[in-house]
Each structure stands twice: as structure tokens, then as C-alpha cells.
């Protein structure tokens, strides 16, 4: 069965500093991987995704993520965090033969941005 682990429940980063949110997955085949962001009172929004090809994927809002098969990881990064990036971030893997529609989510990482 597919699973996703986000080891950090919450992370605090100073504004302007770099960010890396960790995600590890368990899946037997080539995974479909996603990062979603949830701001208070809003629905989850897709930041970026990996299906195949280049293992470094660029997303919206200046985020990027790198797929590392050898480490079963898909960590999210941003070189310079803005206060508006404070939110909950979810990593997800597409499950089964439906690929990207039936998603298995991690528990989320809450990002706090300090002045």
C-alpha cells in the first residue's frame, strides 16, 4: 500500500531564509507525486507535481521539488521564504491505477514564518 511520511509537524523559518520540507513515500511503481498548500480558510492548492522526466520540478510561488528515487523522497524547497508562505503543506502520492486522482496524503507540515 502507498504511504507518505512528512516527518516535520511544524517548521519555523525566518522571512528571507531558505526552506526545505521533507517528504518520503512508499510505492512499488513509479509514483505520481504532488505538493499541495492549504492556507487558513481555503482549499488545498496544487504547488507542483512530478509524473516523469526531469526530477527537478518547478512550481508556483517560487517553489521547487526534487524527486529522488534512491531515497524515495520528494522534498519541497524555496530559496527565500515570504511571510505569505505561512500555511500547511501536504505531500501526496497518486495511488493505484487511477494514478493522480486517488491521492494518499502525508500528515502535513505547518510552516511558520518569523519576521
Partner 1 sequence: GAVVSQHPSWVICKSGTSVKIECRSLDFQATTMFWYRQFPKQSLMLMATSNEGSKATYEQGVEKDKFLINHASLTLSTLTVTSAHPEDSSFYICSASSDRGSPGELFFGEGSRLTVL
Strand, coil or helix: what is 9?
A: coil
Q: Smaller CB distance to partner 1: residue 18 or 45? A: 45
**Alpha-carbon dihedral sign for residues 110, 80, 41, 25:** negative
Q: How many CA atoms lie within 13 A of 43 on its CB side?
A: 2
- The answer to the question of residue 102 lying near partner 1 (CB under 8 A) is yes
Residues 68-97 that bind partner 1 (CB under 8 A): 90, 94
- The answer to the question of residue 9 lying near partner 1 (CB under 8 A) is yes
- The answer to the question of residue 115 lying near partner 1 (CB under 8 A) is no
- The answer to the question of residue 67 lying near partner 1 (CB under 8 A) is no
User: Minimal CA–CA distance to 46: which of 29, 59, 64, 32?
Assistant: 59
Distances (CA, A) of 98 to 32, 83, 93, 94, 101: 10, 36, 11, 7, 6
Q: Which stretch binds partner 1 (CB under 8 A): 13-21, 22-30, 40-48, 78-86?
A: 40-48
What does the binding site for partner 1 look like in residue numbers (CB under 8 A)?
Answer: 4, 9, 32, 34, 36, 38, 41-46, 49, 51, 90, 94, 99-108
Amino acid at each position: 500500500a502507498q504511504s507518505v511520511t512528512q516527518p516535520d509537524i511544524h517548521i519555523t523559518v525566518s522571512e528571507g531564509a531558505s526552506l526545505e520540507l521533507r517528504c518520503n513515500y512508499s510505492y512499488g511503481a513509479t509514483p505520481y507525486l504532488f505538493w499541495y498548500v492549504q492556507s487558513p480558510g481555503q482549499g488545498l492548492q496544487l504547488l507542483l507535481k512530478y509524473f516523469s522526466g526531469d526530477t527537478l520540478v518547478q512550481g508556483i510561488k517560487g517553489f521547487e521539488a526534487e524527486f529522488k528515487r534512491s531515497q524515495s523522497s520528494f522534498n519541497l524547497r524555496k530559496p527565500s521564504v515570504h511571510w505569505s508562505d505561512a500555511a500547511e503543506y501536504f505531500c501526496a502520492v497518486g495511488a493505484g491505477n487511477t494514478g493522480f486522482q486517488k491521492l494518499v496524503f502525508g500528515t502535513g507540515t505547518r510552516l511558520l514564518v518569523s519576521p
